[in-house]
């Protein structure tokens, strides 16, 4: 699980750590407790956990928090400006991008796309569903984590590859071309996204093929 999802669980972690620390103190000084030592150790633990909590909030509010808002909103804004009104986009980060672009969203995970779940059920324990879905549905745009296409592996997939052979990759490269959608979207490697646009729609936008 991505680490920032753990932040709400810090309270329970603190309780567990507190009990463990208390047990350690008991084991170290024996059953004869020292009130001064108990108070001092409690203060140290509380200060330490508070410092960790402040660090966690600061860390996760900026990365991925600010990154999500800036990068995803930039992607959604590009789509809202350049994509036709009836266009669709297949992607994993559905929230900001879908809200900002106002396009039909195909959710890679399937939370808001029952049709995606149907394909996933047809191809259990494999990523073969993905390209089959793309070939059948032909979404206008496809958003990938930057490493997914180059490494031929879905970010939240089974690990057996998006393209099973050269013919599948050739079909994809023929039907879809990468879009340069924003300034600076390559600066942080795999943390940023790459987007592909269907060739026939690309031509309608008047973008020449090189």
Q: List, for residues 63-110, the tens digit of each pLDDT value.
A: 555 666 777 888 898 999 999 888 999 999 888 888 889 999 999 999
Domain match, 165 and 181 both? yes
Which of 13, 28, 62 terminates a domain? The answer is 62
Q: Percentage of the chain with pLDDT > 70? A: 77
pLDDT digits (tens, 9 = 90+) for 151-166: 999 988 999 999 999 9
Domain match, 121 and 199 both? yes
Kindly report whether the peptide bond that precedes residue 64 is cis, defined as omega within 30 degrees of 0: yes
pTM of the model: 0.69
Predicted confidence at residue 199, as pLDDT, reads: 93
Query: Structurally, how many domains does the chain consist of?
Result: 2
Beta strand residue intervals within 108-199, DSSP E: 141-145, 176-179, 193-198
Can you read off the two tokens belonging to residue 8?
């709400």
Domain match, 70 and 57 both? no
d(CA 30, CA 5): 38
Q: How confident is the model at residue 185 (pLDDT cuts 50, 70, 90)?
A: very low
Domain match, 152 and 178 both? yes
Predicted confidence at residue 207, as pLDDT, reads: 64
Partners of 141 in the β-ladder: 89, 197
Containing domain of residue 152, as a range?
Answer: 63-204
């Amino acid at each position: 699980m991505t680490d920032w999802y753990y932040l709400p669980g810090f309270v329970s972690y603190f309780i567990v750590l507190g009990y463990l620390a208390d047990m350690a103190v008991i084991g170290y000084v024996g059953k004869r407790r020292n009130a001064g030592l108990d108070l001092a150790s409690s203060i140290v633990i509380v200060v330490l956990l508070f410092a960790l909590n402040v660090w966690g909030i600061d860390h996760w509010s900026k990365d991925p928090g600010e990154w999500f808002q800036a990068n995803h909103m930039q992607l959604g804004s590009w789509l809202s400006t350049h994509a036709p009104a009836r266009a669709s986009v297949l992607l994993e980060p559905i929230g900001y991008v879908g809200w900002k672009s106002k396009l039909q969203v195909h959710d890679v995970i399937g939370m808001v796309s029952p049709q995606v779940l149907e394909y996933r059920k047809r191809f259990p324990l494999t990523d073969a569903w993905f390209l089959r879905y793309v070939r059948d549905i032909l979404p206008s745009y496809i958003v990938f984590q930057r490493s997914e296409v180059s490494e031929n592996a879905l970010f939240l997939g089974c690990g057996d590859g998006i393209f099973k052979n050269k013919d599948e990759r050739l079909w994809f490269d023929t039907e879809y071309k990468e879009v340069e959608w924003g300034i600076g979207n390559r600066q942080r490697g795999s943390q940023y996204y790459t987007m592909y646009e269907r060739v026939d729609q690309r031509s309608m936008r008047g973008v020449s093929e090189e």
